[in-house]
A and B are shown apart, each in its own frame.
Chain A
Amino acid sequence: MKKTIKKKSFMCLACFLTLFSLPAMALAYDISEKLSLEGTLTGVYQYGDFNIKG
């Protein structure tokens, strides 16, 4: 039982994700005192290293 837990823990630790994110570009514009717009553009690239044998 202890061995199995150890093995599973190792697998969990060994699986990892590498993430690259572009900074969020946010733009807010007040059309008038009562009306405003806010836009946000975000990009992300993700790499997952899942091919780990425990």
Chain B
Amino acid sequence: MSDADRGAVVFDLGINFHPTDTDEFQVTLSAAAGNGLNGIDPFSLAPYADDLEDDLKDINGGNRDYLLEAWYKRTFKFLDHMELAVTGGIIDSTGYIDDNAFANDETGQFMNDIFVNSTLANLPSYDIGGAAELEIADFSVRAVVMNSRNEEDNNYNYYALQLGYSPDTPLGQGNYRVYGFTTWMLNM
């Protein structure tokens, strides 16, 4: 295999509308020119994890271009330290599962896929689904349900659950997360 060099430019646009303290709408669009070395390098992980030109056309085989997210979120506050947020629409599971304050940022922090999200987790993005986030003091529970298509064009449902604990101690803040996921094939 011979050497190669390529580039890419990406523009992301996020529009957020929150008419009340408990209602929120989000639309995220992205356009890119070029694919960098993604697709031609010999590694299974993309050298640039951001969504590039080919990723942004016919997203997940759904005949949709450039529109990554379009969701509505409703937050219910029960007590001082307890609230439930429910989101529905075109969502990205990485916004809820396997979150990390320092990773999860392929534009500002890291480029290579390996540093952004766990390579062992299946985390579908930009498809129809819903998420529930329950926060009780330092504990959190997040559940995600999505319908997506894999690379073999098989339609499947995705279910994930994450339990989190974020203690704030004199030594600093810690974050502990345990999550799991499963899928259910709908057709071949």
Contacts and interface: CB of A to CB of B under 8 A. Distances in A.
B11 A50 contact: no
B81 interface: no
A48 B111 contact: no
A17 B41 contact: yes
B1 A50 contact: yes
Give the bracket for the number of chain B residues in contact with chain A: 20 to 34
A26 B109 CA distance: 13
B50 A42 contact: yes
B89 to A, nearest CB: 18
B47 A46 contact: yes
Contacts, number: 83
Contact of B111 (A21, A26, A38, A40): A21
A17 B3 CA distance: 10
B86 to A, nearest CB: 20
Contacts of A1: none
Contacts of B1: 50-51
A13 interface: no
B13 A46 contact: no
B41 A49 contact: no
A45 B7 contact: yes
A44 to B, nearest CB: 5
A39 to B, nearest CB: 5
Given A17-B41, A24-B107, A45 B10 contact: no
Nearest to A26: B108
B17 A48 contact: no
B42 A45 contact: no
Given A24-B107, A24-B108, A42 B16 contact: no
Interface of B: 1-19, 36-37, 40-42, 47-48, 50, 107-108, 111
16 contacts: A19-B47, A19-B48, A34-B17, A35-B16, A36-B16, A37-B14, A40-B11, A43-B7, A43-B9, A44-B48, A44-B111, A45-B5, A46-B47, A47-B4, A48-B40, A51-B1
Q: Top 10 A-B pairs ranked by shortest CB distance?
A: A47-B5, A50-B1, A45-B7, A38-B14, A40-B12, A24-B107, A46-B37, A42-B107, A43-B9, A46-B36
